[in-house]
Amino acid sequence: MTTPRIVFLDVDGTLIDHSQRLAPSVTEAVRGARAAGHLMYLCTGRSRQEIPRTVTDIGFDGVISAGGGFTEIGDDLFAAHTMPADDLRTLVGFLEAEDVEYNLQAYDEVYPSRNLFERVRPLFEHDALRAQDAAASADMKRIEQRMAYRGPAPAEGIAKATFFGTDQSTFARVRDHLGNAFHVITGTIPWLGEAGGEVSLHGVNKGAAIAELVAHLGMTLDAAIGIGDSYNDLEMLQVCGVGIAMGNADDTVKSYADEVTTDVLADGVWTAFRTHGLI
């Protein structure tokens, strides 16, 4: 019998493209691998509530969300790594002083800054980014609705912030000011470039969450496969026994991987599963 593997799958750029379209072969690949006895976990920078239904409806054994902030096994929250109130105040205070809009990610909710929707409106108005199929369009609309301001965030329970600036110097300014206290990365929102990025506590990332989960499950990291395409996937690609970059990843991300599969809409996940005998 094949030794069970545990697979960690990024969402954006891996299971769906950046117009929310699900790669047609993903459902077959994930369900087939689970039927064969392998564990399938989502591993995303999104909050739990931001994951598209087209993805969650496939069926998974658990979810790592908010870039490693929260880990679920089945329907149970296993681990939460959130910011102390003082750190959160420091983060929000700096972003607001610098006119950088943001979205704070808690386990079961997101908290957009007051003017975030106006700043990201071009994403939803740009015809080239509008999905063509009904399911993807509905998911895009839900994202749009979640970026509307609904009041201040709580002082506790926030694991990560995604930030949105107005020019390509934004990432450098956030990194240079907050980098000693926080882990700051860019390249996770393609249309923003270095005008945006993510902020979490040092040590909170997908790789750390994977190591914590795998140990709890009594498995080894050698049995883990990680598949992703972005800068918040780097620790995942390094910690897993096999790290696989999508064909649509940039060269830096690919350099962290053990191998490269095909693009997101060219059966990249399905191809990787076949290569490793999961299906």
Domains, the chain, ordered by start: 6-80+205-275 (3.40.50.1000), 85-201 (3.30.1240.10)
**Coil, helix or strand at residue 139:** helix
CA angle 99, 232, 50 (to 5 degrees): 70
Of the candidates 74, 80, 40, 54, the residue with the CA atom closest to the CA atom of residue 227? 40
* Predicted TM-score of the model (pTM): 0.91
Structure confidence at residue 1 (pLDDT)? 47
Contact between 6 and 219 under an 8 Å Cβ cutoff? The reply is yes
Low-confidence spans in the chain with pLDDT less than 50: 1, 127-128
> What residues form DSSP beta bridges with 39?
6
Structure confidence at residue 137 (pLDDT)? 66
Contact between 75 and 109 under an 8 Å Cβ cutoff? The reply is no
Angstrom distance (rounded) from CA 80 to CA 208: 12
Structure confidence at residue 183 (pLDDT)? 96
- Amino acid identity for residue 252 in this structure: T
Structure confidence at residue 121 (pLDDT)? 73
Structure confidence at residue 112 (pLDDT)? 95
